[in-house]
Amino acid sequence: MSGQRSRRQRGWYPLTDDWAARIVAESGVRSGEFVVDLGAGHGALTAHLVAAGARVLAVELHPGRARHLRSRFAEEDVRVAEADLLAFRWPRRPFRVVASPPYQVTSALIRSLLTPESRLLAADLVLQRGAVHKHAKRAPVRHWTLRAGITLPRSAFH
């Protein structure tokens, strides 16, 4: 099985650098903010979050990619957590999310992020169009506004 096919089966679609930069810029992340990158992969979003001055927690399930992230961002304000997103314990302090998580965990991830225990301030997520429409129709918590942002072309992914 090819690496690309294997990634796609797990719902992992790595972003190109240009699109990662645009997503972070449009998120409005400011210097000093604590941001969680869920399914950080090789660090496309993480790199631009660091460049914006964010303190980043990069969460990655795959051991090899987690090692790569630790090495790549060893000199930066980045902590890497090797963890399953569905079992991950959210930070106890307020946090933002800017991420392109694996598509197969979208619904469970959104439910988890929006629990009363979560200290989530805001989330900018790259999701499949169907998931966006599904969740926008039934906003799970009245304190949140869900909106669809830009549509990414296929060329936004490796």
Q: Measuring CA to CA, which residue among 108, 106, 82, 79 is closest to residue 95?
A: 79
Mean pLDDT of 59-83: 98
Provide the pLDDT for residue 2: 43
Residue ranges of domains in the chain, CATH in brackets: 3-142 (3.40.50.150)
Mean pLDDT of 12-24: 91
Question: pTM here?
Answer: 0.85
Task: Tell me whether residue 33 is annotated as binding.
Answer: no
DSSP 100: -
Lowest mean pLDDT among 82-91, 118-127, 149-158: 149-158
Task: Tell me whether residue 64 is annotated as binding.
Answer: no
Provide the pLDDT for residue 3: 47
Token pair for 31: 């210097």
Task: Tell me whether residue 76 is annotated as binding.
Answer: no
Separation of alpha carbons 22 and 7, rounded Å: 23
Query: Could you tell me the pLDDT band of residue 80, with boundaries at 50, 70 and 90?
Result: very high
